Amino acid sequence: MRFALFPYASALLALALPAWGENLTDHVQTHGFFSHALAVTDRNQIGMAHTGRWGNMLTEAGVNTTLQASPNWLVAGQLLWRNDGVEPKKLRVDCAFVDGTLLNENGHQLALQVGIIKNPYGFYNMTRDVAHTRPTILLPQSLYHDQGRNFFLSAPGIALHGREEDGANAFTWQFNLLKPDVNSPNMVAFMVGPQNGQLQGKTSWLGQMMWDRDGGRWRGGVSLGSLSMHYQPNPTDFFGAGRFTGAGNMTLNTGVLSLEYNLERWSYTGEYSLTRQMRNSFNVPGANFMDRNSTLEEYYLQALWRFRPGWQSILRYDVVYVDTADRSGVWFNQVSGQPASQRYAQDWMLGLRYDPTVSWSIFAEVHHVNGTAWLSKLSNPPATTRPRWNMMSVQAAYHF
pLDDT tens digits, one per residue of 154-210:
999 999 999 999 889 999 999 999 999 998 888 888 888 888 888 999 999 999 999
pLDDT tens digits, one per residue of 218-258:
999 999 999 999 998 887 776 655 445 567 899 999 999 99
CB 43 within 8 Å of CB 52? no
Average pLDDT of the residues in 111-139:
95
Residue-range domain boundaries for the chain: 96-399
pTM to 2 decimal places: 0.90
pLDDT tens digits, one per residue of 308-341:
999 999 999 999 999 999 999 999 999 888 999 9
pLDDT tens digits, one per residue of 255-270:
999 999 999 999 999 9
State residue 316 phi and psi, 5-degree precision: -140, 140
| Bridge partners (DSSP) listed for residue 110 | 103, 162
Average pLDDT of the residues in 75-79:
95
Residues 6+ apart with CB under 8 A from 340: 328, 329, 330, 332, 333, 387
Look at domain 96-399 and name its CATH class: mainly beta
String of b and e for 306-343 (b: at least 16 CB within 10 Å)? Answer: beeeeebbbebbbbbbbbeebeebebbbeebebbbbbb
